[in-house]
């Protein structure tokens, strides 16, 4: 359970109800499981538990107002909606569920609910008769029909003295429910190989040629593939990122070492995803000793590095090959050309000239292209973008396996 929630972004919405006191324990337990938690409270929720309590437990400011100038100057409601991997409303009162089901957007929580592409979940909490009411069950059916996960409720004694269904699940049970939202099964039984990060090409024992790739996108895709049930091998260039859980990581430095690891891992793989920003060139010779700063001008002869993704795509028994194109101009045109020239099955391209989705950003936006079409993934967290891309990859792989398209 803990591994599945590590580094996940949970946006916890708290609506008005006596069960709001349980939300404090829920925040603590989510953080114990490795999640990053931000809290949004409705005005009614603030009557039951203070924002200061939730801020202390989450380690983040609590978001209260839809039209707060301070919030909009820092992380506006749209940015907060993009940030989340899962939006959980706990407790979800009868009134809150009704507003979410009807698509109202008259406070911060309901606006975020409409604005996010993250997974959605509610943990109902209300009087047993309110839970049993026809209109509440109708609203529940609407939410479920739209793919909203419903956690509980439990049955037992209630604050009003009644006994029956309507109690919010306890914190540990809700944490387990949250963890289950990150298991999709779309790639169960499949082997996926992913390259990520930059390569370094040595000039001498202390200097090298490289680029600004952080590896964040590749690591997010690796984690999304694990969530989808795949057996994942992550081939990582030199990056300062922790290893995602439940996968094999192979660390490499240069393009040559990444090529060797990729060709070995790709044998028998179902999917190969090349997110690594491989240096295009390397020095023809590497100085054995540190180059001294004695000349005003120094020249190096560079030779072209191997094209790793093209080499994998040329294998006789190749996997489904997904390339990446980080461009600064004519992004889609360059990506389409690369798709055809390298004989890839899919390619994902982004504009790294944009500061908001560049190499070091936590967000991204992609255009994913395949021979018969394309899909635009609008700006969101790299975690969310990774899940959407993995869904497209799984669809494409299914088409190949069922003979609808050729690899």
Residues assigned a catalytic role? 160
Residue 133 phi, psi dihedral angles, 5° rounding: -60, 145
| In 276-378, alpha helices (H) | 308-313, 331-341
175-178's contacts with Cβ under 8 Å and 24+ in sequence apart are: 175/1, 175/5, 175/26, 175/29, 175/30, 175/33, 176/1, 177/121, 177/123, 177/149, 177/151, 178/5, 178/8, 178/10, 178/30, 178/35, 178/86, 178/88, 178/121
Report which DSSP code applies to 284: S
What is the rounded distance in angstroms from the CA atom of residue 174 to the CA atom of residue 89? 11
For residues 132 and 126, is the Cβ–Cβ distance under 8 A?
A: no
Distance of CA 152 to the CA centre of its chain: 26
What is the rounded distance in angstroms from the CA atom of residue 209 to the CA atom of residue 207? 7
Report which DSSP code applies to 187: T
Sequence-distant (6+) residues with CB within 8 A of 185 are 228, 229
Omega of the bond leading into 91 within 30 degrees of 0 (cis): yes
Q: Which two tokens stand for residue 6?
A: 């590590």
For residues 127 and 158, is the Cβ–Cβ distance under 8 A?
A: yes
| C-alpha distances in Å from residue 354, one per residue of 84, 329, 338, 361, 363 | 21, 10, 21, 10, 11
For residues 320 and 338, is the Cβ–Cβ distance under 8 A?
A: no
Residue 349 phi, psi dihedral angles, 5° rounding: -125, 150
Q: Which residue do the tokens 């049955």 mark? A: 155
């Amino acid at each position: 359970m803990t591994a599945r929630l590590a580094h996940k972004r949970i946006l916890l919405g708290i609506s008005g109800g006596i069960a709001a006191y349980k939300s404090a324990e829920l925040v603590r337990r989510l953080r114990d499981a490795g999640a990053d938690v931000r809290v949004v409270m409705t005005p009614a929720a603030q009557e039951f538990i203070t924002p200061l309590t939730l801020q202390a437990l989450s380690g983040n400011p609590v978001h209260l107002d839809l039209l707060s100038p301070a919030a909009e100057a820092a992380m506006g409601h749209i940015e907060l909606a993009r940030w989340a991997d899962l939006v959980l409303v706990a407790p979800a009162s009868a009134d809150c569920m009704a507003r979410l089901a009807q698509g109202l957007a008259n406070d911060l929580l309901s606006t975020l609910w409409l604005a996010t592409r993250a997974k959605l979940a509610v943990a109902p909490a209300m009087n047993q008769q309110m839970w049993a009411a026809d209109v509440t069950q109708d609203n529940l059916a609407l939410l479920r029909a739209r793919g909203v996960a419903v956690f509980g409720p439990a049955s037992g004694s209630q604050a009003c003295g009644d006994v029956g269904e309507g109690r919010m699940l306890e914190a540990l049970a809700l944490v387990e429910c949250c963890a289950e939202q990150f298991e999709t099964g779309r790639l169960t039984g499949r082997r996926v190989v992913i390259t990520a990060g930059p390569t370094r090409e040595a000039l001498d024992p202390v200097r090298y040629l490289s680029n600004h790739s952080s590896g964040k996108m590749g690591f997010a895709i690796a984690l999304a593939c694990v969530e989808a049930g795949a057996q994942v091998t992550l081939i990582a260039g030199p990056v300062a990122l922790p290893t995602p859980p439940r996968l094999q990581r192979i660390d490499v430095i240069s393009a040559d070492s990444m090529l060797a690891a990729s060709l070995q891992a790709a044998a028998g793989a179902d999917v190969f995803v090349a997110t690594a920003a491989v240096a295009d060139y390397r020095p023809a010779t590497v100085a054995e000793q540190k180059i001294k700063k004695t000349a005003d001008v120094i020249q190096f002869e560079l030779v072209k590095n191997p094209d790793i993704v093209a080499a994998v795509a040329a294998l006789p028994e190749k996997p489904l090959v997904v390339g990446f194109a980080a461009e600064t101009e004519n992004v889609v045109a360059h990506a389409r050309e690369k798709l055809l020239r390298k004989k890839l099955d899919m390619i994902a391209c982004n504009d790294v000239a944009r500061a908001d989705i560049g190499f070091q950003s936590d967000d991204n936006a992609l255009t994913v292209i395949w021979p018969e079409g394309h899909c635009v993934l609008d700006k969101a967290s790299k975690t969310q973008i990774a899940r959407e891309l993995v869904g497209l990859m799984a669809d494409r792989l299914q088409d190949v396996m069922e003979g609808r398209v050729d690899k």
